[in-house]
């Protein structure tokens, strides 16, 4: 597509991405803006990331840019660093079966696959045409050149943009086996771009879903961040469940969903998903810890009950044992960094502390650095469960905004209510002793 046939302008591209494109071209290399940056501009969106593809090798890129660092074992990439802004540059990928690829692989060990067909190492370099065929979806095989201002479409991606279809390039089963995370990406792009997954791309997903078990837990955390912290968490949750992929991210809630999509635990997670989407779409901050805590809460409560029934374990001990056990189980699917584990544990612990309001306990709880997260968590639980939990959440809603005098009255009133509830029990115990 020539300049007058598309809507992409250099004004839509970040200054740093343009610097990289210009310097690569000046150095004698071909360089293109590629993938999501091109796709999103064509759709009238504002890209967050600008990725570049080139025929320069990672080592050649590094020679051109002092601010370059090479990363990755599986895919060798160049990151050009401009303060907080990072422009990712990838060398054109080649085919594994080509003569050139075979020579590279045999000589330099640049390519390696697992027994399931998953690519473990993939540094085979090729032409722009080969690179386009190696990309995952047709809508991502679009290239924009700052040399001639043309858009190059190698896989009918423009047609799929018009049809609003997410379609894999090549044989879907082979492409999913090469990288099972593509199943998650298909869902994420469908919800992000308000598109539909093409039938041939969607059909193998349920059958091949078990391949997700081979993905490292650390990489799954990265996918969790993209799926659930982008403003489309609720839609992604439903599609993941529909395609039998939810269990590879959240094994506990997946079991509850399979038994009853309207169970208390699933309703609670839905409340948090809605809140997460609303906050992100309003430009507010969210923490990955809050949703992860919501996903695990009812499993922790269930295991606490089982521990107390089987071993008569004190409530506090049962809580810590259950929390540790459930977190360890979740870590096998998603490697949760320690910086998020501590906030999760605080949110869990605050659920018990928020029930204790006598004396100065309410004021001490109010001063807890994560009180707001614990209170919000309680609020959503109250919306789902109702009853005493909803009353407790209402009490804290009133208490935290009340004047000091009103807060003292609320605590006194709470004490009086507790005494009145205990007195009939004491009288009955006295009669029993007599």
Given the residues 30, 49, 238, 376, the one annotated as active site: 49
Q: Is 434 a catalytic residue?
A: no
Bridge partners, residue 137, by sequence = 168
The answer to whether 91 touches 57, Cβ cutoff 8 Å, is yes
Among 254, 121, 137, 130, residue whose Cα is nearest residue 184: 137
Q: Mind spelling out the 3-state secondary structure of the chain? A: CCHHHCCCCHHHCCHHHHHHHHHHHHCCCCEEEECHHHHHHHCCCCCCCCEEEECCCHHHHHHHCCCEEEECCCCCEEEEEECCEEEEEEECECCCCCHHHHHHHHHHCCEEECCCCCEEEECCECCHHHHHHHCCEHHHCEEECCCCCCEEECCCHHHHHHHCEECECCCHHHHHHHCCHHHHHHHHHHHHCCCEECHHHHCCHHHHHHHHHHCCHHHHHHHHHHHHCCCCHHHHHHHHHHCCCHHHCCHHHHHHHHHCCCCHHHHHHHHHHHHHHHHHHCCCCCCHHHHHHHHHHHHHHHHHHHHHHHHCCCHHHHHHHHHHHHHHHHHCCCCCCHHHHHHHHHHHHHHHHCCCCCCCHHHHHHCCCCHHHHHHHHHHHHHHHCHHHHHHHHHHHHHHHCCHHHHHHHHHHHHHHHHHHHHHHHHHHHHHHC
Q: Mind spelling out the 3-state secondary structure of 45-88? A: CCCCCCEEEECCCHHHHHHHCCCEEEECCCCCEEEEEECCEEEE
Supply 415's token pair. 């004490």
Measure the CA–CA gap between 141 and 402, rounded to whole angstroms.
58
Q: Is 136 a catalytic residue?
A: yes
83: left (phi over 0), alpha (psi -120 to 50) or beta: left
Given the residues 12, 40, 136, 346, the one annotated as active site: 136
Given the residues 40, 51, 131, 346, the one annotated as active site: 51
Query: Which residues are part of the catalytic machinery?
Result: 49, 51, 136
């Amino acid at each position: 597509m020539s300049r007058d046939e598309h809507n992409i302008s250099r004004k839509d591209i970040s200054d740093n991405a343009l610097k990289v494109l210009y310097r690569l071209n000046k150095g004698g290399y071909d360089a293109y803006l590629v993938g999501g940056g091109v796709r999103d501009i064509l759709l009238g969106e504002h890209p967050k990331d600008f990725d570049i593809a080139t025929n320069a090798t990672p080592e050649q890129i590094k020679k051109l840019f002092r601010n370059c660092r090479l990363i990755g074992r599986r895919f060798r990439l160049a990151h050009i660093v401009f303060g907080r802004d990072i422009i990712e540059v990838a060398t054109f990928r080649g085919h594994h079966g080509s003569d050139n690829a075979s020579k590279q692989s045999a000589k330099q060990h640049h390519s390696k696959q697992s027994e399931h067909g998953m690519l473990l190492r993939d540094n085979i370099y090729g032409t722009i045409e080969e690179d386009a065929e190696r990309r995952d979806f047709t809508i991502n095989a679009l290239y924009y050149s700052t040399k001639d201002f043309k858009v190059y479409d190698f896989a009918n991606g423009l047609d799929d943009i018009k049809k609003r279809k997410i379609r894999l390039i090549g044989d879907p089963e082979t492409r999913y086996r090469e990288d099972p995370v593509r199943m998650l990406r298909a869902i994420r792009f469908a919800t992000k771009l308000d598109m539909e997954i093409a039938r041939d791309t969607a059909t193998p997903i349920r059958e091949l879903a078990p391949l997700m078990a081979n993905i490292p837990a650390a990489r799954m955390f990265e996918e969790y961040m993209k799926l659930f912290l982008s403003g489309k968490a609720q839609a992604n949750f439903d599609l993941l469940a529909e395609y039998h992929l939810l269990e590879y991210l959240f094994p506990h809630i997946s079991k509850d969903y399979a038994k009853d999509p309207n169970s208390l635990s699933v309703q609670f997670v839905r409340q948090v998903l809605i809140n997460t989407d609303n906050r992100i779409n309003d430009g507010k901050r969210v923490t990955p810890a809050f949703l992860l805590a919501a996903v695990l809460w009812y499993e922790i409560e269930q295991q606490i009950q089982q521990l107390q029934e089987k071993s008569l374990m004190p409530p506090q001990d049962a809580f810590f044992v259950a929390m540790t056990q459930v977190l360890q189980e979740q870590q096998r699917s998603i490697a949760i960094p320690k910086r998020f584990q501590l906030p999760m544990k605080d949110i869990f612990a605050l659920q018990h502390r928020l029930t204790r309001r006598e004396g100065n306990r309410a004021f001490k709880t109010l001063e807890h650095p994560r009180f707001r997260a614990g209170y919000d968590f309680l609020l959503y639980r109250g919306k789902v469960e109702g009853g005493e939990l909803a009353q407790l959440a209402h009490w804290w809603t009133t208490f935290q905004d009340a004047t000091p005098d009103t807060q003292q009255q609320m605590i006194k009133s709470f004490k009086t209510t507790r005494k009145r509830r205990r007195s009939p029990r004491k009288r009955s115990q006295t009669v029993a002793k007599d």
